[in-house]
Amino acid sequence: MKAVILDAATMGDDIDLTPLRHEVEELTVHSLTSPDECQERLKDADIVMVNKVVLKGELLASLPQLKLICVLATGTNNIDMAAAERLGIAVRNVSAYGTESVAQHTLMLILALANRLPLYQRDVAAGQWEQSPFFCLLGHRTLQLSGKRLVIVGSGVLGNAVARLASAFGMDVVFAARPGNEDADERPPLQQLAASADVISLHCPLTDATHHLVNDMLLREMKRDALLINCARGGVIDEEAALKALREARLGGLGVDVLPQEPPRQGHALIDAMQESLNLIVTPHSAWISPEARQKIVTLTIENIRTWKCEYTG
């Protein structure tokens, strides 16, 4: 069978694709692929492997040979799933490949914001330590994590990994009810937990129920020193409302690894605000990118291909 990877560059150039080559008769690897190039590159493919390239229904309908789409990520929103099902094209994604990497990144954001790292780094760079009348700077109130409450939204593998790490720092970890399913969930909803939270960390998908889950109303319920972390999806928080709360000292710190549009071609208010004296960290959707996590995507994709082969042949 012939397989094609459309956007291998999104996986980095330090990942070993050799195991994938052993699973198919022919593997063609493209670093990046524009929408106009998809049809030509996939015309003879039995399997396509894709991270973020959009595969629309009309494209899939023009590829009668295509049998399997392997998404090199968890989200399948770039695939016309209804068209794939109608055309008999199997779709397989991967999950939990970046659990340790994202959990580590989440704790990095929590620790950095708790210690007001962005503010103190700015002060040191501006020469304030050199001008201090005594041995240290005390201008920014830090947050000791031990004994503080961490509210996690998302109780899957990732949320539980973050909980384990936070527990090692002595934090009181509480999971919020699943957004959109609060009535059937025995846990309290985020709205009920917000006032007691010292840190809120988001690890849930972006759905109608989670869009702007953290909005101006919820932010006003939170403690003034509380930290907000979003390593889930852009749009789960109202970024403009969170930035306003940060500027007005109604929020202790904000750390995001995701934005509603990625990459942010037209810029974003949070990126602009990084020039201000705020306890703010924006990272470029890099929580997942450890080499171990990216190589695991290859391993999980091989498992998907093998499972599909068994089902396909029968």
The DSSP-derived string for 260-277 is SSSS-TT--HHHHHTTSS
Same domain, 88 and 143: no
Give start and end residues of each alpha helix (H) in the chain: 18-21, 38-42, 57-61, 81-87, 99-114, 117-125, 157-168, 190-193, 216-219, 239-247, 269-273, 291-313
Same domain, 81 and 26: yes
Same domain, 105 and 214: yes
pLDDT in tens, the chain (314 residues): 999 999 999 999 999 999 999 999 999 999 999 999 999 999 999 999 999 999 999 999 999 999 999 999 998 989 999 999 999 999 999 999 999 999 999 999 999 999 999 999 999 999 999 999 999 999 999 999 999 999 999 999 999 999 999 999 999 999 999 998 888 889 999 999 999 999 999 999 999 999 999 999 999 999 999 999 999 999 999 999 999 999 999 999 999 999 999 999 999 999 999 999 999 999 999 999 999 999 999 999 999 999 999 987 76
What does each C-alpha distance from 137 to 113, 119, 128, 143 come to in angstroms? 16, 11, 8, 15
Note down the domain range covering 298. Answer: 2-97+291-313
Same domain, 115 and 54: no
Considering the entire predicted model, what is its pTM? 0.92
Same domain, 141 and 258: yes
* Pairwise CA distance, residues 81 & 11, whole Å: 23
Count of structural domains within the chain: 2
Same domain, 240 and 269: yes
- Here the CATH number for the domain that contains residue 104 is 3.40.50.720
Same domain, 104 and 166: yes
Same domain, 131 and 202: yes
Same domain, 277 and 296: no
Active site residues: 233, 262, 285
Closest CA to 304 of 15, 54, 7, 20: 20
Same domain, 21 and 135: no
Same domain, 111 and 177: yes
* Pairwise CA distance, residues 77 & 10, whole Å: 16
Task: Output the pLDDT for position 314.
Answer: 62
Task: Output the pLDDT for position 75.
Answer: 86
Same domain, 134 and 11: no
